[in-house]
Each structure stands twice: as C-alpha cells, then as structure tokens.
C-alpha cells in the first residue's frame, strides 16, 4: 500500500485532466470547494458529500483527565470536534480495493 498523500495540487491536476479546465482554473475550483466546506463547518453546520461521506461537528463535554506520566488530574475543557463518517458506498469501494 502506498503512503502517498493526496494534496490540493493532486486534486487540481485531476480536475484539469477530467474536466479540461486550465491548471489555474482547476486550482481555483478546488480552493473554492474546500473553502466552502471549511466555512460551512465553521458556521456549525454539517457537510454531506453524496457517495463519499459526511463531516459532522460534535460537542464534547468537559471532563477530568489524567496525566499518564504523573497520574495528576487535569481538567479537559468542553470543545467541538470534527468527525468524518464515510458513506457505505465509500466503505464498500475501500473494502473491495483492499481485498484484491
């Protein structure tokens, strides 16, 4: 299995190849989509990409944690976390690719 990471440039290249936009237009399109996704999440809304998955914000309550080194109790503040839930279609595609 490859450890390559998909980058914004890779996405722009794929748009360039598949859609035929110029490299600059492809990069602008990728940036616009990612900015829209990020802005929507910042506003507290979830983002669902059909056949891919959903980015969901979850509220986590405050709690008391422990420093594993010292055992000292440390308060952990409440926070919002971003969770990705892959769709069943994506799960099936990944599972099929791994079983080859």
What is residue 1's predicted lDDT score, i.e. its pLDDT? 45
Q: What is the mean pLDDT of residues 64-83?
A: 95
Is residue 99 predicted with pLDDT exceeding 90? no
Q: What is the mean pLDDT of residues 32-51?
A: 96
What is residue 68's predicted lDDT score, i.e. its pLDDT? 93
Give tens-digit pLDDT for 17-37. Answer: 999 999 999 999 999 999 999
The residue that leads in pLDDT, 98 or 8, is: 8
Is residue 2 predicted with pLDDT exceeding 80? no
Q: Which CA distances in Å does 66 have to 55, 69, 75, 76, 80?
A: 29, 9, 8, 9, 20
Distance in angstroms (rounded) separating the CA atoms of residues 71 and 63: 15
- Residue 78 CB partners (closer than 8 Å, separation 6+): 59, 60, 61, 62
Is residue 100 predicted with pLDDT exceeding 80? no
- Residue 22 CB partners (closer than 8 Å, separation 6+): 16
Is residue 7 predicted with pLDDT exceeding 70? yes
């Amino acid at each position: 299995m490859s450890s390559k990471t998909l980058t914004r440039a890779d996405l722009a290249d794929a748009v360039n190849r598949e859609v035929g936009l110029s490299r600059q237009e492809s990069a602008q399109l990728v940036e616009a989509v990612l900015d829209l996704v990020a802005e929507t999440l910042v506003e507290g809304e979830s983002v669902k990409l059909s056949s891919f998955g959903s980015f969901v914000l979850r509220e986590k309550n405050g709690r008391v944690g422990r420093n594993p080194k010292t055992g000292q109790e440390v308060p952990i503040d409440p926070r919002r976390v971003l969770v990705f839930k892959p769709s069943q279609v994506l799960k099936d595609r990944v599972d099929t690719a791994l079983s080859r």
